[in-house]
Chain A
Amino acid sequence: MPMANKDLGRCFRMDDYVIEMLHITKEFPGIIANDDITLQLKRGEIHALLGENGAGKSTLMSVLFGLYTPEKGIIKKDGKEVHIKNPNDATELGIGMVHQHFMLVDIFSVLDNIILGAEPSKFGFLTKADAIKKVLDLSNKYNLKVDPDALIEDITVGMQQRVEILKMLYRDNNILIFDEPTAVLTPQEIDELMKIMKNLAAEGKSILFITHKLNEIMEVADRCTILRRGKYIGTVDVATSSKEELSSMMVGRDVKFAVDKAPAKPGKEVLKVENVCVKSKIHQNDSVHNVSFNVREGEIVCIAGIDGNGQTEFIGALTGLDDISSGKVSFCGEDITHKSIRYKNTHGMSHVPEDRHKHGLVLDYSLEENMILQRYFEPEFSNHGFIKKKTMREYSDRLTKAFDVRSGEGATTIVRSMSGGNQQKAIIAREMDREHKLLVAVQPTRGLDVGAIEYIHEEIVKQRDAGCAILLVSLELDEVMNLSDRILVMYEGEIVGEVDPKTTTLQELGLYMSGAKRDNRKEA
């Protein structure tokens, strides 16, 4: 509802800028992250900062927050030039930030996290009584419900975000930066956040809202500044703009929102999961509970859900990184519940892991060495325990060519020095080239730019059409809706619903994802 902001009846004087960032340039070796960028924030407005990954949004906000010093450009607060050298300076100017990755200490209580760095104390001893009162007052005023004594590791992501917001309010910040705040939230939680943001703005706080989601901008933002590849593209009034205009400014071309694909032609059952449970490493309960489903040849089955609802644990157990505590997994009719990773690797299961740096690659190995990560011992690549370097080189060259993996020095490039997109392509190449009947792809497009995403989506569809079974795990609802043939929703470790992407809506998915709705599924 783009008209919503009118309801709040806010109006702005033309030149009442609370923060101005003028001609900011910030370089890192090899890249110019911000190139002559200007951003002006009016008092009491919600100002969106839009751009793709790598457009320089986070760098710009880090400059404002005192984490980086820009090479050129000045920052003005209330019309006066200020120098922000560290987060303390920013805090003194009333600038607060909710970071994309929450800056919360897991083993501390909510209260300790809120007061950290601004602790009320007498002679160095903490005096928490006043703090609790202030926090509770704030949480009532802005409807941010939290339990001050709960540990961060025990509360939901949505609640953690409320803690982050309270952290800013506790410090009486007036300029609030939200760095991609909705990435980890359910649609319902997002709605609530939008309300909170509007509340805050109505109370006179000025908000900078970093995002790449157009719907959210249309809903809450007053104005929007767009960055592309480190450059300033323009600032527009949201009320007089459209999604299409914003998106073409963001990417510099028209974006394809849908993936072209023919209807699926499912064949034989490849993967069958029955009542799988996985014990949690943190708490007493199961992190994955009684999960059952199947995946057939030539279809893409997607597990949707909010981050942290057991997807990682389930995939870990399925691929062998973690143990299955009960249940059964069959693969092409064979029981592989307790088979080793190596067995699964060599018997037709490919796995594009969630975290390419943690699992997918040995960053200090060369590209060619990474290409044979699961196959180095096979006769093709080894001879009496010695690696066949020539074969390895040829194999790597063939894959990099076929999948268009770009690297500085070809097969001998150290993977650490490659861009994230090319690293991901290398993994995709490796996993797709291995002989496989099932491809498990976890967030295969995470952190990539639009071009790379389209490419990977096409490859996945190609695999499906070639008869491969695909199990996709994704947090991006667009990806879920566009790519999959069947959607399973995971909530708190259980599959709570199965929907057809052609007939469902985002709202329905959201209800499943937030646990508000669940099917009484018959066991598959």
Chain B
Amino acid sequence: MDKKNTAFLKRPGVQTILASVLCAVLGIIMGYIILLFMNPEHATEGMVAILKNFFKFSGKPQQLMYYLGSTLVKSVPVILCAEAILFAYKAGLFNIGAAGQYTIGILVSLYTSLALGWNWFFCVLAAVLAGALWGALCGFFKAFCNVNEVIAGIMLNWIGLYLCNIILSNETCMNTTKSETYDIAAKNPSGVLPGFLQGVFGNNQYMSIAVPITILVAIIILVVLNMTTFGYELKATGHNKEAAKYAGMNAKRNIILTLAISGAISGLAASLYYLTSIEHFKIASSVPGMGFSGIAVAFLGGLHPIGTIVAGLFVEYITLGGQYLNTNYFNPQVADLMIAIIIYLCGFVLFFKSILNKPRKKSLDANKNNKVASGVTAKKEV
């Protein structure tokens, strides 16, 4: 009996990483199968293009670093949205409304920058506050009206989207002929985020302080969750709402506060992305997918703030990889499909872990009992 080996595989951290890697690999394999269906001749070529990504520039360090920089910048919003979702999830709340809070973040950061001409710092601050407000609104419905936060979040997503469409379609923000917002760098240079190591990343003008801020946010979340009384309360509430109440924690306040913080992070995500001017807002008829991808990233990252960064980079890498596909044979949304498959597979993580945990002699029956063994013993005593 390989005792050491079993013990290693039974460590929760190891299992989480294994499970995530498995999801990612399975997702890629299924993506490949889909490519095979679409065009068997060029499937391998397509998959290689997605995976190789910007490393096809590996001969030219300057360009390579430039595209690496772009990938980092584009990963910022999805990582932060994932952090937002993770934070709420730890408190037992499924913040599907992150997408709407992100949308409100877009709205406020672009409006304050383009229409009001504020400095970047205040634009970010405004977006954070607006995101927090939108999150708190969702929390309010949950805490005081008992509305499921998922349903309330979805409704607020759509309301946020339409608000964003109405307000930004204003001529001061939007080039109405192209129906997309103006370039911040051109209209309000003080609204652009300060650069960060742009030289290192092939003079990538989009490389900004957003990247270090993201890492900082992840670390702060890690610290708050694991070392503070606030994190203690949130996790207690997430694990067992009733026990948290029994312990004298204020459930309603915590629900609203958690969703407000989650919303603030989502708002921050939007502002850190749009204020680099790397992308302009276009009138949209569906809620930006960032908040939803964030769910995938949070789960793929094993619901750990640092794991989430890794997962975010991976997901963005695959998504951007879709653009390297030869459009004669494939369309770039295949990458989105792969991401969706990966998040679906994340639902099986629990099952995967129970396989790792089952005792050495294994019938499927034993495996089932394993998971409930504690329940069985507990019940007997009752």
A residues near B (Cβ < 8 Å) are 28-31, 33, 53-54, 58-59, 69, 319-321, 340-346, 351, 353, 357-365, 369, 373-374, 376-377, 382, 385-387, 389, 416-417, 419-421, 446-449
Contact = CB atoms under 8 A, between A and B. Distances in A.
Nearest to B243: A362
A30 B360 CA distance: 12
Contacts of B235: 365
A373 B228 contact: no
B177 to A, nearest CB: 52
Given A30-B373, A340-B248, A342-B248, A373 B236 contact: yes
Given A321-B246, A362-B239, A447 B376 contact: no
Contacts of B377: 28, 31, 54, 419-420
Contacts of A343: 248
Nearest to B357: A29
Contact of B381 (A69, A359, A385, A421): A421
Nearest to B371: A29
Given A345-B248, A387-B228, A58 B243 contact: no
Contact of B236 (A28, A362, A421, A449): A362
Contacts of B378: 357, 420
B240 interface: yes
Given A28-B376, A29-B370, A54 B228 contact: no
A132 B359 CA distance: 50
Given A351-B246, A362-B239, A29 B359 contact: yes
A29 B377 CA distance: 10
A58 B378 CA distance: 13
11 contacts: A28-B369, A29-B373, A33-B380, A59-B380, A321-B245, A342-B249, A346-B248, A358-B243, A364-B239, A376-B229, A420-B378
B365 interface: yes
A340 B374 CA distance: 34
B232 interface: yes
Interface residues of B, number: 33
Nearest to A342: B248
B247 interface: yes
A353 B377 CA distance: 20
Nearest to B237: A362
B366 interface: yes
Interface of B: 227-230, 232-233, 235-236, 239-240, 242-250, 359, 365-366, 369-370, 373-374, 376-382
Contact of A382 (B229, B250, B366, B369): B229
A341 B228 contact: no
A359 B241 CA distance: 8
A373 B381 contact: no
Given A342-B249, A449-B381, 6 more contacts: A54-B381, A340-B250, A359-B245, A373-B243, A386-B229, A447-B381
A296 B65 CA distance: 76
Nearest to A385: B228
A359 B369 contact: no
Nearest to A344: B248
Contacts of A374: 247-248
Contact of A363 (B232, B239, B359, B382): B239
Contacts of A376: 229, 232-233
Contacts of B369: 28-29
Nearest to A343: B248
B373 to A, nearest CB: 5
Nearest to B359: A29
A69 B382 contact: no
Contacts of A373: 236, 243, 246-247
B228 A446 contact: no
A253 B135 CA distance: 61
Contacts of A28: 369, 373, 376-377
Instruction: In the A-B complex, list the 10 residue pairs whose CB atoms are closest, starting with the nearest.
Output: A342-B248, A447-B381, A420-B381, A359-B246, A341-B248, A447-B382, A373-B247, A364-B239, A54-B380, A362-B240
